[in-house]
Amino acid sequence: MNRRKFIKNSSLASSLFFVPSFVKAFSNLITSETSYKRLVIIQLSGGNDGLNTLIPFRDDNYYKSRPIIGLKKEDIINLDNELGLHPSLLPLKKLYDYGYLSIINNVGYPNPNRSHFRATDIWQTASDSNQYLQSGWIGRYLDNFNQKTTAAIDINQSLSLALKGEFQNGMAVKNPNLLFRTTQDPYLKNVAKHYEDSHLSEHNLGYLYKTMINTESSAKYIFETSKTTSSNIEYPKNTLSKQLKTTAQFINSGLNTRVYYASLDGFDTHVNQLNTHKRLLKAYAESIDAFVKDLKSKNTFKDTLILTFSEFGRRVKQNRGNGTDHGSANTLFIIGENLKTPGIYNKMGSLEDLDDNGDIKFEIDFRTIYATVLKKWLNVNDDVVLNESFNHLEFI
């Protein structure tokens, strides 16, 4: 008789039903006591057209620059009589009305780079425009303040640079069941079990074994913790929504993760962008909507902050293909229950006074946003993570 069979047959089985809820109640207690703040980062990959996301519909320059792809006034969701949201973003209007949304304009950095790869690296490593860092800002957060691999999870097949530290990496988990199963390979488990850690820990091979053993336990922890909760919320069908559903499951099960990373691809809209952009923003907004509902249903929204960014914005003027080319400064969304400055945080930059490339000039360095989140949300010293001292903003 194997162990599971024994438990099944045992008269103790009935009392075991109480254990999970007891354990859960206990872990909830811990959670609320330490007020576990979580950060969810969403990257809109490809360069989201910020100017067709939040639209200055009173500004004639907008329609002059975008005679074909400019959104019609009557379709735009009015926010403050100056700026309005793309019609696909209706769910965000609700968050805006509740005071759960803070919109920060003209976010960028000096000497912007307009290559996807480079610009993504700059955002993920929090480097200067001409500086090459090989560790990400979340990775350095792990390096300095948290030794656990499970403290930062990329809901993805592979780990983003953002989550790679000098010494400590976060973890990429797209499908917790699959990862768990891989680590349960009987042969690999036996190998890990028989490893004798005598004097090799500083050696490269020791590092591999350490990672292997750590992965096995992390995968087990994630799998077993996350399966204690389930969700009744219906999510739309798209890749981001799938990632956010997994994220909500992790958060709601009380996983000790502090930072989650997710992304939605396809924003590189050089050609005939209207429909593509509409579809993408819809996918984004509906996913966020389901995600927030899911968190609220388990009372975890209050401890969750969602930051949405894109590696760059797009050119103000539409191009000849009825799309837009790579730009620079962009609009960024912060979503959370206890925002200090809900609504529109700062005025959108002028569409007349553009930079040499015809892009909106940057006003707020993206690293001041990172600094603010690190300091005021994750409660750590941001200077150490960012290798420099940045101002703190007032959105949280």
Instruction: Yes or no: say if 396 and 99 are a contact pair by the CB < 8 Å rule.
Output: no
130 binds other proteins (CB under 8 A): yes
In Å, how far from its chain's centre is CA 289? Answer: 15
SS3 97: helix
The contacts of residue 305 (CB under 8 Å, 6+ apart) are 37, 38, 39, 40, 334, 335, 336, 373, 377, 396
Query: 145 or 195: whose CB is closer to other proteins?
Result: 195
Measured from the CB atom, the residue of 83 and 179 that comes closer to other proteins is: 179
| Least distance to other proteins, CB of residue 185, Å | 6
Residues 6+ apart with CB under 8 A from 149: 168, 169, 170, 171, 214, 215, 218
CB of 62 to other proteins, least distance (A): 25
DSSP string, 153-182: EE-SSS--GGGB-SS-B-EE-S-HHHHHHH
43 touching other proteins, by CB under 8 A: no
**Count, residues in the chain:** 396
* Beta-bridge mates of residue 172: 154
CA separation for the pair 331, 366 (Å, rounded): 10
Return the residues of window 188-217 that contact other proteins according to CB under 8 A. 188, 190-191, 194-196, 198, 200, 203-205, 207-209, 211-212, 214-215
Does 182 participate in binding other proteins (rule CB under 8 A)?
yes
Any idea what the Cα angle at residue 314 is, between residues 313 and 320, rounded to 5°?
170
By CB under 8 A, residue 357 contacts other proteins: no
Contact 258, 151 (CB under 8 A): yes
Binding mask 244-283 for other proteins (x = CB under 8 A): ---------------------------x------------
# chain residues binding other proteins, by CB under 8 A: 44
Shortest reach from residue 283's CB to other proteins, in Å: 23
151 is a site residue for other proteins (CB under 8 A): no
Q: How far is the CB of 384 from other proteins (least distance, A)?
A: 21
Please identify which residue in 17, 18, 22, 187 interacts with other proteins, judged by CB under 8 A.
187
Q: Point out which residues bind other proteins (CB under 8 A).
A: 117-118, 121, 130, 132, 134, 149, 157-159, 161, 164, 169, 171-172, 179, 182-188, 190-191, 194-196, 198, 200, 203-205, 207-209, 211-212, 214-215, 218-219, 271, 321
